[in-house]
């Protein structure tokens, strides 16, 4: 059901690995955010633009599942998809695939649109909605 929005690739680095020899679990959410920011930039949007606008899109919920450990210098591709969207919020899912297309981890982030001055829920602006509906 989820609609693919963007593919983002990266390589795990020396400092992504923890004392157990694998990528530290919370690092995956940093990688997910890198994918999200790169997706925005692909559409001539950016976190910077959003921070300068009258709304913000804070994350109110996140989840991640770890299938098999990821090691140093692995090439990982994140497929970022729109999983859910309504009037004031949207949920993105992230699939972490290795070179062999094996699913190594998944994550999701739920974002709520908030008026920057009123701190109240706000309808998602058209600019964001159209970008989230750009998927295949």
Dihedral (C-alpha) 39, 43, 49, 51: value to the nearest 10 degrees? -30
Choosing from 16, 18, 54, 65, the catalytic residue is 18
Q: State in angstroms the smallest separation of the CB of 81 from a second copy.
A: 19
| Least separation in angstroms between CB 29 and a second copy | 4
Computed on alpha carbons and rounded to an integer, the radius of gyration of the chain in Å comes to 16
Question: Closest Cα to residue 103, out of 84, 78, 73, 72?
Answer: 78
The enclosing H or E element of 47 equals helix 47-51
| 3-state DSSP of 65-93 | EECCCCCCCCEEEEEEEEEEECCCEEEEE
18 given a catalytic annotation: yes
Q: Which is nearer to a second copy, 68 or 133 (CB)?
A: 68
Among residues 72 and 85, whose Cβ is nearest to a second copy?
Answer: 72
Q: How far is the CB of 135 from a second copy (least distance, A)?
A: 22
Query: Given the complex with a second copy, which of 12 and 81 has the nearer CB atom?
Result: 12
Question: Which positions lie near a second copy, rule CB under 8 A?
Answer: 11, 13-22, 24-27, 29-30, 33-34, 37, 41, 46-48, 51, 56, 58-66, 69, 71-73, 109
Residue 77: CB minimum distance to a second copy, A? 16
How many of the other CB atoms lie within 10 Å of CB of 75? 11
4/48 with CB nearer a second copy: 48
Please enumerate in sequence order all residues whose Cβ is within 8 A of that of 30, keeping only pairs 6 or more positions apart, or say none.
none
Active site residues: 18
């Amino acid at each position: 059901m989820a609609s693919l929005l963007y593919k983002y690739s990266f390589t795990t680095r020396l400092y992504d690995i923890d004392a157990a020899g694998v990528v530290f679990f919370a690092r995956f959410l940093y990688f997910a955010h890198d994918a999200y920011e790169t997706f925005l930039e692909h559409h001539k949007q950016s976190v910077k633009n959003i921070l300068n606008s009258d709304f913000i899109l804070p994350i109110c919920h996140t989840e991640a599942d770890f299938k098999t450990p990821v090691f140093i210098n692995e090439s990982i591709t994140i497929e970022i998809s729109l999983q859910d969207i309504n009037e004031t919020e949207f949920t993105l899912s992230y699939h972490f695939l290795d070179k062999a297309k094996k699913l190594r981890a998944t994550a999701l982030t739920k974002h709520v649109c908030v008026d920057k001055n009123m701190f109240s829920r706000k309808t998602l602006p058209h600019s964001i909605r159209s970008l989230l509906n750009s998927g295949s």
